[in-house]
Amino acid sequence: MKSEKILEVKDLHTAFRFGNEYFDAVDGVSFSLYKNELLAIVGESGCGKSTIANSIVGLHDKNFTRVSGEIIYDGENVINYSEEQFNEIRGKEIGFIFQDPLASLNPLHKIGKQIEETLIYHTDLDKNQRHERVLQLLDQVGIVNSERTANQFPHQLSGGMRQRVLIAIALSCKPNIIIADEPTTALDVTIQAQILDLLTKLQNEVDAGIILITHDLGVVAQMADRVAVMYAGQFVELAEARELFSNPLHPYTRSLLQSIPQSDLPGEELHVIQGMVPSLKNLPREGCRFASRIPWISESEHEEEPVLHEVSKDHFVRCTCWKNFRFEGEGGC
């Protein structure tokens, strides 16, 4: 049984302007996020994952971006919020963990001051209370010497510690939603595991819903409650994590999973997905967008206008091509 719904995205379109034309980078995406749930959005670079995240918190430049649809938070559609309105919920009710901590932190300000900024803007805490909250947050994210770290600059910290600082900033006002955009990309494997364990632990402590943007299916298998697989601006499969990994259906999902190295099959060649993700300008807007990368599947097996079908309870798959999909070289179904 699902818990309380805290975010609902309906038919989201986010388009970027090239010259005088707009092209959808996110094309009709819909999903809900529930309290204390971790929803992972996965897919190749350029598929639109981060664009969804930025649309939710209004980080796009409105001079070059057009966003439509509905993003319902706290009973309101925030799509048309002004910058001032977004500032009221960003940091306070929706925390954001960026993928590049060195670029996200100000190199000229000490760590403590940067965490304190959100508290100054969104709380009534006095100076001493803010200082105590900063130290508490640094302790909470696993930084041992919090007082010393608060007085350091970003360049004095390791990549893992900088990422922990970003998590502390995101948690500072105990938000209802945390969006983590590729939070472990630049970290080594050991630190990645520590950061992921930390996110899982903190999720239970703050009771927030988390949207995890990633291309790492290993991370998804370890952490996610539900998974949305994204390709070329659209969700192609959406299911509970256990269901998706035990019964992947869309050709793209199956291809991604087939591409993961298997420790029990040493020496086996990795599966390679043919072709490339089409550019935004050249993206096919009709038919199955994955069709060109599985050319051995006949055109008749694709829908002309693919939609998400609920093939079993809470398991959605786009297009009908999954029904008879086989990998190249396999026999027909």
How much is the average pLDDT of 30-54?
94
Domain boundary among 172, 189, 224: 224
Say how far apart CA 133 and CA 127 lie, in whole Å: 10
203 with 240, same domain: the answer is: no
* CA 194 and chain centroid, separation: 19
Instruction: Tell me, yes or no, whether 79 and 203 share the same domain.
Output: yes
Structural domain tally of the chain? 2
- Residue 168 backbone dihedrals phi, psi, to 5 degrees: -60, -45
Residues 58 and 110 in one domain: yes
The reply to whether 174 falls in a domain is: yes
The answer to whether residue 37 is domain-embedded is: yes
Residue 85 belongs to what domain range? 5-224
Residues 239, 196: one domain? Answer: no
Question: Quick one: pLDDT at residue 3?
Answer: 78
pLDDT of res. 310? 97
What is residue 170's predicted lDDT score, i.e. its pLDDT?
A: 93
- My answer on whether 178 and 253 are in the same domain is no
- Asked whether residue 331 is assigned to any structural domain, the reply reads no
What pLDDT is stored for residue 261 in this prediction? 72
User: CB 302: neighbour CB atoms within 10 A?
Assistant: 17
Confirm if 117 and 92 have CB atoms less than 8 A apart.
no
330 in a structural domain: no
Mark whether 196 and 246 lie in a shared domain: no
Kindly report, residue by residue over 15-25, the tens digit of the pLDDT. Answer: 999 999 999 99
Reported as a single tens digit per residue, the pLDDT across 144-161 is: 899 999 999 999 999 899
Q: What is the CATH number of the domain that holds 218?
A: 3.40.50.300
Give the predicted TM-score (pTM) of the model. 0.93
Rg (CA), the chain: 21
pLDDT over 90 at 78, yes or no: yes
Section 54-83 average pLDDT: 94
208 and 297 fall within a common domain? no
Domain termination residue (choose one: 166, 192, 224): 224
Q: Within this chain, do residues 220 and 252 fall inside the same structural domain, yes or no?
A: no
Task: Note whether 194 and 248 are same-domain residues.
Answer: no
Question: Same domain, yes or no, for 175 and 50?
Answer: yes
Same-domain pairing of 165 and 16: yes
Q: pLDDT category, 263, cuts 50, 70, 90?
A: low
Average pLDDT on 299-321 reads: 96
Give rounded-to-5 percent helix, strand, coil for the chain: 35, 25, 40
Q: Is residue 332 part of a domain?
A: no
Other beta carbons within 10 angstroms of residue 112's beta carbon come to 20
Q: Which of 315, 176, 153 is nearest to 250 (CA)?
A: 315
Domain boundary among 168, 202, 224: 224
Nearest to 164 by CA among 114, 216, 93, 89: 114
Range 152-178 average pLDDT: 93
pLDDT at 301: 95
Tell me: pLDDT of 333 over 60. no
Residues 9 and 148 in one domain: yes
Assess whether pLDDT exceeds 80 at residue 26: yes
